[in-house]
Amino acid sequence: MTEDVQEVETNRIVIVGAGLAALYAALNLAPHPVLMISPDPLGEGASSAWAQGGVAAAMGDPDSPDSHSKDTLAAGAGTVDPAVAQRVTQEARDHILDLTRRGAPFDRDSEGGYVLSREAAHSYARVVRVKGDQAGAEIMRALIAEVMATPSIQVLEGVMAAGLETEDGTVQGVWVEPSDMDHRAAPLLIKAPAVLLAGGGSGGLYKLTTNPPRIRGQVIGMAARAGAQIADAEFVQFHPTAIDMGEDPAPLATEALRGEGAILVNKDGERFMQAVHPDGELAPRDVVARAIYAQTQAGKRPALDTRAALGDAVTRQFPAVAAACARGGIDPVKGTIPVAAAAHYHMGGIATDLQGRATLGQLWVCGEASSTGLHGANRLASNGLLEALVFARICARDIAATTAPDPAEEVTLTFRPGGQAPDPQAVEQLRQIMTDHVGVLRDATGLQTALRQINLLEGAQPDCPAFRNMTATATLITAAALLREESRGAHCRLDFPETNGKVGTRSLMTLDAALRLRAEIVSEPT
């Protein structure tokens, strides 16, 4: 270590992230000492808190975990790992009951049973929700209260992970820096016995997204830059019903609205989904997203119509949607809600095994930054929070089995001046590139253009870890999309519209391989 590098050593397990997966893992690790790295105050800035639909779980007859697993496999378009799907769906009910014990106020009926919603591509109503569209926020609130009351958990707010320190393929610690981009400081290394990455996905790499502003692929990027293998990077899910009202990020109109009978229409009042898929509005998300996108491109301004299905009950049953509409001057009781397809969830991420272990030693991953094999090419609605819960506990148990629960001092960080913040203009250019060329519809020309442009942006700011994490993830998504010469699930190639067989293969790639492909594209004459 050189004199100008700061280093702090702890025997706490470091958890990068502050969403549902991070909180649940920290609680399941107790009494092992934990240090959570949170860029924002707990409850703010995490995708989990914005999740509206709920948690998918087979809670009773006639539904079953096997049926849930079959729906997961079908939605994933041939690339779901069956063993992962079986394990996650079998454990789902137990996690709902555990969250209930921890204070999550799930909607209940007059007899005390769970109120279940049906969402796209589910055979049954099996989405457990809170106050209609408040599941993520309310579950987070319950877990945050428990975390703050747990002595073994220390939370560092206002701190952001920037990179991983490795030695011989094993993670030694995490580089961190202040998350306030207006007050820069040189990165500081926290050395720890184990690291759990439980951060967000990559939706914010796109100009049109439903994700919080900080969720821009940084966690995936830092693991990739350290040498971790990345799986299924090309599979980015676009939510079909982001509210098209000019906000960045775009508010979400939960799929539960369509589960309650809301329909999709265009500016002419035409209900277009019935001609697209037998399940109409409840077709798989990739199908609905492409239909919405096609209507938008044709200038037909698609919209969600809740009037017949819900009437004025929409404002009471779905308060988050009602609040967003009010901000945008939209009245869902008297009119329709304009919608657009927006980057929403990354099925791909850091490759993990059934214990949540990455391909680097002493590194575990759970939540959206991971790629466990559950989602395949197209995530089944409300399986995201479920996967976060299941693998948070799996990771916690595996880490606990390999780490002694020794007492630990609280970690204090003192940053020195220095560091470099991402150029805001470059970040916006990167987001526009991803939306224009690596979005709902893709082709080789656009993907190659994206790689060239990402290369230029990265070259203009080579010494900023936060931006390099973003461009690493953007490069991996684009390179994997270029190599997958077929259309499958959420990945749709205009130049390769057919699917290569019912059963597909998962993509596996390192950043080095993606960068070699990018270099080849850059060197070719345009």
- Give residue 242's Cα distance to chain centre: 15
Question: Is residue 375 within 8 Å of residue 387, measured between CB atoms?
Answer: yes
Q: Which residues lie below 8 Å from residue 266, measured CB to CB, with a gap of 6+?
A: 272, 295, 300, 301, 302, 303
- The half-sphere exposure of 471 on its side-chain side, counting CA atoms within 13 A, is 29
| Cα distance between residue 332 and residue 180, in whole Å | 37
Among residues 51, 50, 378, 345, which one has the least CA distance to residue 204? 345
Peptide bond into 212 cis (omega under 30): no
Cβ count within 10 A of residue 344 = 28
Catalytic residue among 285, 357, 431, 442: 285
Place of tokens 């809170």: 130
Among residues 86, 12, 30, which one has the least CA distance to residue 396? 30
Decide if 506 is catalytic: no
| Cα distance between residue 352 and residue 386, in whole Å | 16
**Diameter of the chain by CA atoms?**
69
| Cα distance between residue 285 and residue 289, in whole Å | 6
| Cα distance between residue 323 and residue 302, in whole Å | 20
Copy the structure tokens of residue 387.
Answer: 């996967």
Question: Is residue 53 within 8 Å of residue 131, measured between CB atoms?
Answer: no
Copy the structure tokens of residue 392.
Answer: 């948070």
Residues with a known catalytic role: 285
